[in-house]
Amino acid sequence: MRSLSLILDTLTLFISKQIGFAAMFMQFCLKNVHSFLAALWGWIYMLVSGTQVQQTPVGNISRPETSTKEQKEGSSNQLTTPSSVNYHFTRQCNYKCGFCFHTAKTSFVLPIEEAKRGLRLLKEAGMEKVNFSGGEPFLHERGHFLGELVRYCKQELQLPSVSIVSNGSLITETWFQKYGDYLDILAVSCDSFNEDTNKVIGRGQGRKSHLDKLHRVHNWCRDYKVAFKINSVINTFNVDEDMTEQITALNPVRWKVFQCLIIEGENAGQNSLREAEKFVISDQQFQDFLDRHQSVKCLVPESNQKMRDSYLILDEYMRFLDCREGRKDPSKSILDVGVEEAIKFSGFDEKMFLTRGGKYMWSKADMKLEW
């Protein structure tokens, strides 16, 4: 009986193991059938939708890693043409404007040949206008680096429009003599026609007069046939000012009037270099300023809503900056992955770009100005 019991126990254990093995085998088969069907469905979807898996080239220059939420989750399939691009090739500046939203977080500037390669990629992708900015673009190599990029874009790439945004303080007449022919528009930032207000804002350097230099640059633009433009950021310190008389006298081709904008990590937040909260004005205050200047024909207003997503911004590494979340999330560099891939993560609102008048007569050859 004892032997029979041992035999029965052994047989029971063997049968249970076989049943367990069979169950595991069935589970394995079902799992793989599920995977096979999922893969098959994925390939069928790609064939029907025309989706293709693309490989992107990798550049040789080391750039910071980017891992934005948009890049992790995917991107839009809509093709965007970079008709107008703002290239902030340096973050360094000699002014300390309290509301600055592209601050000196790095001192990096691309080698000029790499910058030219990126500009050529943009031209091949459809760029018609490039705007060089900073930081202060005339600071690096005393404007020589900037001048050579301006010359390259107009002479080699034959772009319809090449422009610069500057605080004006470092511009010289010698620069105009050498590079003025290649420049369509020069915008000088001026937030007030009261020198003390400019100093409070941070738009100044020592005892030098920002307004005196503004007028000198204005005259050089006239002498060297460059369209003159003024940019003003409206904030708590200038929102009640009436600039009608001074703007009318200077007669710029455009007077861009921006509402002070908060960008996390740039002029607000824990890791920012500025604290712009005290400069912020309400939408109604901004509208009141616009109403006060409605007689100025060259005025081009840009509220926070219009400005945030309607600019294609390249940083010093030639990465597009996405401002949709109130901060600047960088794409991968166009030098590494190309324009078409990088621009998917730019957050660019092309409709708003057109609505705010981003595309205008931007070549000085078409402006028919009286010099």
Which sequence positions are flagged as catalytic?
93, 97, 100
Quick check: 63 and 329 in contact, CB under 8 A? no
157-191 burial: b if 16+ Cβ within 10 Å, else e: bebbbbbbbbbbbbbeeebbebbbebbbbbbbbbb
CA distance 262 to 102: 11
The residue assigned the tokens 């912020």 is: 280
Question: Alpha helices of the chain — where are they, by DSSP H?
Answer: 2-49, 69-73, 112-124, 144-151, 173-179, 195-201, 210-223, 244-250, 283-292, 304-308, 334-337, 339-342, 350-355, 364-367
Helices 144-151 & 112-124 angle (0-180, nearest 10): 30
Q: What is the DSSP string of 200-228?
A: HHT--BTTB-HHHHHHHHHHHHHHTT-EE
What are the residues whose beta carbons fall under 8 Å from the beta carbon of 171, sequence distance 6 or more?
138, 143, 186, 213, 217, 220
Question: 80-111 burial by CB neighbour count: b if 16+ within 10 A, else e?
Answer: bebbbbbbbbbbbbebebbbbbbbbeeeebbe
Element (H, E) at 86: strand 84-88
3-state class of 331 per DSSP? Answer: strand
Closest CA to 321 of 361, 261, 276, 270: 261
Q: Judge whether 99 and 233 are in contact, CB under 8 Å.
A: yes
Query: How many degrees, rounded to 5, is the angle at CA 101 between CA 95 and CA 105?
Result: 75
- Residue pair 228/222 in contact (Cβ under 8 Å)? The answer is yes
- Residue 289 near residue 275 (C-beta atoms within 8 A): no
What tokens does 325 get? 């979340």
